[in-house]
Structure 1
Amino acid sequence: MDSRIGYDDDFYAWTQEQARLLREAARERLNTPIDWEHVAEEIEDMGRSDAKALGSALKRVIEHLLKLEHSPASGPRLGWRESVVNHRIAAWDEIDASPSLRRKIDLARAHRDARRLAVLGLAQDGMFEDAVPQDCPYTLEQVLDHDWWPTNRHGLE
């Protein structure tokens, strides 16, 4: 294999490197019936889907951390905690399979999307949108830390 990046070491980085190598081979005009550009795109897209899965998991973690921190309701707190645990595991699965994805994380975007969802859910509890911070109050380390939980602003656990 020409690649310097191992498939089993970092899948996302491998897909991006393989797509680049395929495009280089296509420029060399090898006389084969392979649709190089589309094959390269498909391989690239496989890596992008992993990046999207990571972003989705982080969005859910942040959404439920925000609800746990800001909701005055006593329920469904256990469901939110379970969601945080499940999505932290999913995020770590993606990062472990593709460590280079960690550099692609857009925490501000994940928070922005998570905030929208949290605000909708918290409206049922009588919370106003301005009660949820505009900027992400959590670090990436906190979002990914299986043992870290925010303190509820209403004294609930």
Structure 2
Amino acid sequence: MNQLYETDFSEWIHQTIQLLQAGRWQEVDIPHLVEEIEGLGKSERRGITSQLTRLLVHLLKWQYQPQRRTDSWLDAITDARMQIEFAIADSPSLRTYPEAQPEVSYQRARQQATTQQTGLEIITFPEQCPYPLELVLPETWLPESE
């Protein structure tokens, strides 16, 4: 099973499932199974952080470039909120995870919202996240223009 993990991941998954369903615990590749399960948890958290960053980038753009607002920005804001909501619905234990991430996500969003996306200097945006999380996640809130 160890070699199969390295050469054909899909088949490794298939065989691992069969072994688990058959109760053949001694044949299961435990180290790799543990690694994969840990990776799933990290992936879910990374997904929430990524969507929160995406949401914050678009909220900054919305607030600081009102003349350039588009429906695609609203779509991105709505989609990021929905993706966070879906992730939490799938894993309710992650409900408080966004609360632990606003500054990490905001600093990434602030960086991305600079010259890459807006042409504005980083000093244009506040150093600390100006948006309370309880306003950011609900589906209808948008920041006011500067």
Q: Confirm or deny a common fold (TM above 0.5).
A: yes
**Identity over aligned residues, as a percent?**
31
Structure 2 match to 1:113: 108
Alignment of 1:36-47 (within 5 A): 36-47=30-41
Which residue of 115, 118, 131 maps to 1:122? 118
How far apart, in 2, do the equivalents of 1:109 and 1:38 lie? 30
Structure 2 match to 1:101: 94
Q: Tell me how far 1:61 sits from its aligned partner.
A: 0.5
Give the TM-score normalised by the residue count of structure 2. Answer: 0.75
Q: Which deviations, in whole Å up to 9, do the C-alpha atoms of 1:94-120 show, x marking residues without a partner? A: 011112213333111010111111112
**Which one-letter code corresponds to 1:94 in the other structure?**
A
Which structure has greater helix proportion? 2
Whether contact under 8 Å (2:62, 2:69) holds in the other structure is: no
Give the TM-score normalised by the residue count of structure 1. Answer: 0.70
Q: Tell me how far 1:53 sits from its aligned partner.
A: 1.1
Q: Which deviations, in whole Å up to 9, do the C-alpha atoms of 1:62-112 show, x marking residues without a partner? A: 00000111125x224322111101111111000111122133331110101
Report the 3-state secondary structure (helix = DSSP H, G, I; strand = E; otherwise coil) of the residue aligned with 2:145: coil
Can you give the 5+ residue segments of structure 2 that lack an aligned partner in the other structure? 1-24
Whether contact under 8 Å (2:114, 2:122) holds in the other structure is: yes
How far apart, in 1, do the equivalents of 2:104 and 2:40 lie? 21
**Which one-letter code corresponds to 1:58 in the other structure?**
L
Which residue of 41, 55, 68 maps to 2:49? 55
Can you give the 5+ residue segments of structure 1 that lack an aligned partner in the other structure? 1-30
Report the 3-state secondary structure (helix = DSSP H, G, I; strand = E; otherwise coil) of the residue aligned with 1:66: helix
**Which one-letter code corresponds to 1:122 in the other structure?**
T
Report the 3-state secondary structure (helix = DSSP H, G, I; strand = E; otherwise coil) of the residue aligned with 1:142: helix
**Matched residue count:** 120
